[in-house]
Amino acid sequence: MPRVYKHYDFILGAFVTVLICSNFIGAAKQAVVTLPYFGELTFGAGVLFFPISYIFGDILTEVYGYGLDRRAVWAGFAGLAFASLMSAVVVNLPPGHSDFMKTYQGALETVFGNAWRIALASMVAFWTGSFANSFVLAKLKIMTKGRFLWMRTIGSTLVGELVDSSLFYFIAFYGIWSTADVVKVAIVQYLFKTGWEVVMTPVTYRVVAFLKRTENEDYFDRGTNFSPFRLKNE
């Protein structure tokens, strides 16, 4: 009989919520910040929150193992697919005849008209990047015998976010933005995301320690089947 955990469902729900919101609220917006010595940097607004999903992924793999993180990744994938379908249906429904609805329909199309492409990019990039992140972390945990959590979380994020950032902006915005903007934003996003992981490392340590203690679990993926297409925790 599979184990029942106290906090897994809560973390799973938070993970999926952060993932959907960060990909649909602000993902298409180019924001600009001026930094000392670097000048203006352009980045996708959604990047402010999306890295939290990778932190959740690190926590899930570190505490519960690759198998249960794999289930979370598929839950996130399904959530993104549904959000994309809902966006397409809502945007394409005939609007009412009021002046407000004429203006509102245009705003919806502006914000969500590219939702199918953003969703495709999100699903492909998230799916591949998350599994790369979880795989690297699980393998590093075995190699380091559970030591150096900071190295595992940061190292796995460097790999996972590289895959994610390389795919997302090119699939979502190539041909819409200039190629220079796509490359620039993708690079800034990658640096920002990995920087988030470094900054949040003390928080990750505290959450991981709390979960390992309360769940009485510290999973090592020895003998795990790492196929991304399985849903069993093994």
Which residues in the chain land under pLDDT 70?
1, 26-28, 42-44, 113-115, 234
Provide the pLDDT for residue 44.
67
Angle between the N-to-C axes of helices 201-215 and 179-199, in degrees from 0 to 180, rounded to the nearest 10: 60
Digit-coded pLDDT (tens) for 163-185:
998 898 888 888 888 888 888 87
pLDDT of amino acid 20: 86
DSSP state string for 9-61? HHHHHHHHHHHHHHHHSSTT-EEEEEETTTEEEEEEGGGGTTHHHHHHHHHHH
At 234 the pLDDT is 63
State the CATH class of domain 8-215.
mainly alpha
pLDDT for 27 equals: 63
**Confidence (pLDDT) at 128:** 95
Q: What is the pTM of this model?
A: 0.86
Beta bridge partners of 44: 30
pLDDT attached to residue 28: 63
